Amino acid sequence: MDIGDHTIRTGKDIRRIEPKAMHVLYLLACNAGDTVERGELLRDVWNGRVVVEEALTRIISQLRQALGDSQQRRLIQTVPKKGYRLRGEVNWQSTLTTAEPTPSADNSEALTSENAVSEAVESSTDSAPAKQPEPQKALSPAPVVSKKAWFVAAVLFVLVAVVVFTLNKTITDDTIKPDEQRISVAVLPLRQLSNDDDTLYFADGITEELTDSLTQNQNLDVPSRYSTLAVTSSEDNSLSDVASSLGVRYLVEGSVRRIDEEFKIAVRLIDADTDRVVWSESYTNTASSLFAIQQTIARRLNEALLPQTSDTEVAQTSSPDNIEAYQYYLRGNYWLMNGKTSEWIYKSEAAFQQAVELAPDFAAAHGKLAYLYARHDFHDAFMPREEALQKADAAISKALRNNPQETNALLASVIIDTAAGNFSSAETTLDGILGRQPNHATALYIYSELELARNRFDAALSRAQQAYVLDPLSPWINVNLAIVRFWRSEYKPALEAVQNAISIDSNYTWAYVWQAKILHRQGQLNAAITSMLQSADIDSASEVNSAYTGLLYLEIGDEERAEQWFRHTASLLGDTPQARFWQGLQRFTQPQQATDVARQLMLDLPLLDNRIFSLLPLLYQNYLQAGDREAAIVFLQSRIADTAPKVNVHNYRFYAALQALTPLPDETSETLQRLMTTIGDNIAPLLIYSLLTGHHTPSASAMMSGGWLDYYWLIEADNTAKGMRQKLLEQRQQASSQRALLLP
């Protein structure tokens, strides 16, 4: 490592890194083996300026990439909640190599001889490392000195460890040559200077399109949309403050104004280091030219940032045949990126449908539709499963026919394959996306969903953390990290993740819902209800949220408020059988009350078993009350057949219910037991099935030792074994005390 020249050498390969990255590596090397706190690195490297922590995480990511440590992370280790540690033996060299030529784009291999590096490595393994110098707190980020002065004052250090040999034995495909140094640039939200929806959609849409276009250039580091929104939300921040906070050198900023039927777009590329405008242009055109303008701006930005890049390396998107379709596409994108739970998906779908009707070959619009349909049951039941899958398949086919690498269509296929248990196909598709776009945060968090479905909890956490490092200011990325933590029974960091999402966007209802779910599992019902009421204040039109709030009130025994929320859920569903079920839910839970009617309504209920709650215990009780154990077995087997072929976090409830009625095959039973061991307190709700069936195994008490037993009120405590009777009474008392806390 040459700290003065900002280069990392492995044999004949030379990689340049930016000055701040070398400064971070230098400080880690000075404290090799010890943890260097994030605050210390931020303070020393950014000279006390206030920056978001993403600036440091992006630097660490660059260092890992340059060191070939991106996957294994064995050399630069993350110390949770503290900072980073450099693992390996450090040898500081002061050997002067005055005969070496200076770095140049034409002769990168002449920077040093392979033999000199080999000798340095060999000598370092045979002798104790020299004393480490004290860290230079005011290390210049870009020293400018003469060659002679440099060679007299230079300090070379070589990281020597088995880890280095392992990680850097081969040169990775993402090697950065000296003439291809990565450039950091952020696309700031274009200012809307006209107060109309079309300008709003276009300003937001072109920001997103420009960000996406620059992100696809692997020579550029581009912070996510969420990061730039978070940093630019304060009007007090200057452009230099924004650049410093994001850890970038260049900023793209501009405005959109509508004058009658014409749009005036002004865009500037600013070098924040020198406060100089590198490139700027203005465009005045009608709506028919908007797509062409966006493409031109993207191309010109790439040319200004990387003049040596050929046109073939710049990502291009084919223009839709109908410019009105492009405007609908921008509108759909706006709602996809800015909408809140129950409303956004319908508005997005309507806009994208208009786009593809006007331009049937518009691949990007088909891809966005495919993604929406693939997520049909991710929260609210957007549409019936069969209809959603049919529409998703059609949209995927149309998108990929016009663009075989349309990312959203490919991600939609991954989501569908994961739900169907086609794990190999899903993995192949994700690997292909990440091979082209290694920093695609959405692909990484969807990869974490795949790993959860495969019961690979460590791999799921790793993927979720990779997505977080790339996009720490995305509310959804934070909630996804919380979901993975939840299934690992790591409730404290899970709560921290959702609370971080809320701090980023206080209107992000999905974060409040998962906060409630985590609190629910811990038995903190009053806090869970409070979280759901906060969500309802933002959006009261979600069927899932409304129904879940009613079920939480039932858990604390407040039947009156539960009924209010169930009736609200029914009002959202109109005149449908689903509405009829929610109106009569509490009556249907009573013994011998309209058993046949209740069962049929539940069997047709899209929300019977979803990611937030499950009504399976109610249906299970219904079968037992009617004496239809065989019918229950048939139903459970049919639902299992519709899901992934193996036990996972999405279908384990059906396997547990089936196991309470009939023995499972040995392999399936073993898989279920392994999963139950992994998910910790999340197994508590499974106890309800054995209790309803009348099984009181010794393991039952252990299952209820941690976590909250959902639907405990369905169980008559007197009919249970002594140990379980006591635990049920304790839970009833706990529910009563929590109900008292919520009383006015």
Q: Do 356 and 261 fall into the same domain?
A: no
Classify residue 516: in a domain, yes or no: no
Interatomic CA distance for residues 596 and 622, integer angstroms: 8
Query: Per the structure, how many domains does the chain have?
Result: 5
Secondary structure (3-state) at 117:
helix
Which of 579, 611, 643 is the last residue in one of the domains? 611
Q: Is 160 left (phi over 0), alpha (psi -120 to 50) or beta?
A: beta
**Does 363 map to a domain?**
yes
Q: Are 344 and 267 in a shared domain?
A: no
Q: Tens of pLDDT along 183-212?
A: 889 999 888 887 777 777 778 878 887 888
Look at residue 342 and tell me if it is in a domain.
yes
Residue ending a domain, choose from 566, 591, 611: 611
Q: Quick check: helix, strand or coil at residue 276? A: strand
Beta bridge partners of 614: 609
Q: What are phi and psi of 185, to 5 degrees?
A: -145, 140
Residue 147: band (very low, low, confident or very high) from pLDDT cuts 50, 70, 90? very low
pTM score of the predicted model: 0.72
Q: Measure the CA–CA gap between 386 and 392, rounded to whole angstroms.
A: 10
Q: Write out pLDDT tens, residues 522-576.
A: 999 999 999 999 999 998 889 999 999 999 999 999 999 999 999 999 999 988 9
Helix (H) or strand (E) holding 280: strand 276-286
- Interstrand relation of 13-16 and 7-10 (parallel, antiparallel or unpaired): antiparallel
More confident residue, 95 or 499: 499
Residue type (1 letter), 517: K
For residues 302 and 309, the answer to whether their CB atoms sit within 8 Å is yes
Give every CB contact of residue 627 below 8 A, 6+ residues apart in sequence: none
DSSP 187: E
Mean pLDDT over residues 448-470, rounded? 95
Q: In the structure, what pLDDT confidence band is assigned to residue 423 with cuts at 50, 70 and 90?
A: very high
Instruction: Measure the N-to-C terminal CA separation of the chain; round to a whole number of Å.
Output: 65
In this prediction, residue 234 carries a pLDDT of: 67
Tell me the Ramachandran region of residue 298: left when phi exceeds 0, alpha when psi lies from -120 to 50, beta otherwise. Answer: alpha
pLDDT at 319: 57
> Highest mean pLDDT: which of 187-201, 337-351, 392-406, 496-510?
392-406
Least confident of 122-131, 206-215, 263-272, 424-433: 122-131
Q: Which CA distances in Å does 709 have to 156, 267, 369, 402?
A: 61, 57, 39, 51
The three-state (H, E, C) secondary structure of 33-59, written as one string: CCEEEHHHHHHHHCCCCCCCCHHHHHH
- Which carries the bigger pLDDT value, residue 387 or residue 241? 387
Return the pLDDT at 223: 85
CA atoms within 13 A of residue 68's CA, in its CB half-sphere? 18
Range of the domain at 548: 540-611
So what's the pLDDT on residue 52? 53
Least confident segment among 8-12, 500-504, 555-559, 600-604: 8-12
Q: Find where tokens 């997103």 sit.
A: 208
CB atoms closer than 10 angstroms to residue 239? 15
What does 127-163 look like in DSSP terms, one character per residue? SPPPPPPPP-TT--SS----HHHHHHH--EEEEESHH
Q: Is residue 384 part of a domain?
A: yes
Would you say residue 467 lies in a domain?
Answer: no
Distance CA 228, CA 498 (A): 20
What's the pLDDT at 334?
83
- Compute the distance between CA of residue 554 and CA of residue 615 in angstroms, rounded to an integer: 13
Residue 81: pLDDT band (50, 70, 90) is low
Q: Which of 699, 681, 688 is nearest to 488 (CA)?
A: 681
Residues 226, 329, single domain; the answer is no
Which residue has 């794990």 as its token pair?
A: 423
Residues 130-146: pLDDT tens digits? 344 444 433 334 334 44
Q: Give the pLDDT confidence score for residue 588 in this predicted structure.
A: 83
Which of 123, 157, 177 marks a domain boundary? 177
Do 168 and 189 lie in a common domain? no
For residue 219, the tally of other CB atoms under 10 A from its CB is: 16
What 3-state class would DSSP assign to 602?
helix
Question: Is 513 within a domain?
Answer: no
Q: Are residues 594 and 642 in the same domain?
A: no
Burial of residue 592 (CB within 10 Å: 0-12, 13-18, 19+) is exposed
CA 33-36-39 angle, 5° bins: 175
Please report the pLDDT score of residue 590 as a whole number. 76
**455 occurs within a structural domain:** no
Q: How many CB atoms lie within 10 A of CB 308?
A: 10
> Is 530 inside a domain boundary?
no
What is the residue whose two structure tokens read 């307190």? 681
Output the domain CATH number for residue 414: 1.25.40.10
170 and 196 co-located in one domain: no
Question: Nearest CA to 537 among 284, 266, 341?
Answer: 341
- Contact call for residues 387 and 369 (beta carbons, < 8 A): no
Claim to verify: residue 52 and residue 168 sit in the same structural domain: yes
Are residues 42 and 152 located together in one domain of the fold?
yes
Average of per-residue pLDDT across 623-630 = 92
d(CA 278, CA 299): 15
In this prediction, residue 75 has a pLDDT band, given cuts at 50, 70 and 90, of confident
- 297 plus 420 within the same structural domain: no
Phi, psi dihedrals of residue 511, rounded to the nearest 5°: -70, -40
Give the DSSP H or E segment for 259: strand 250-259
Considering the domain architecture, whether residues 210 and 268 belong to the same structural domain is answered as: yes
Say which DSSP state 229 is in.
H
% of the chain surpassing 70 pLDDT: 80
Q: Which residues touch 370 (CB under 8 Å, ≥6 apart)?
A: 392, 395, 396, 399, 408, 409, 412, 413
Which of 51-55, 187-191, 717-721: highest mean pLDDT? 187-191
Residue 347: what residue type?
A: K
Q: Rounded CA gap, 415 and 442, in Å?
A: 12
Identify whether residues 33 and 173 lie together within a single domain.
yes
How far is residue 635's CA from residue 599's CA, in Å, rounded to a whole number? Answer: 11
Measure the CA–CA gap between 552 and 653, rounded to whole angstroms. Answer: 19
How far apart (Å, rounded) are the C-alpha atoms in residues 579 and 607? 11
Instruction: Concatenate the DSSP letters of all residues of 628-668 into one string.
Output: -HHHHHHHHHHHHHTS-SS--TTTHHHHHHHHTTSPPPHHH
Highest mean pLDDT among 15-29, 145-159, 298-312: 15-29
User: Which CATH number covers residue 170?
Assistant: 1.10.10.10
Kindly state whether residues 19 and 140 are assigned to the same domain.
Answer: yes
The 3-state DSSP class for residue 221 equals strand
Place of tokens 């299970």: 620
CB 77 within 8 A of CB 41: no
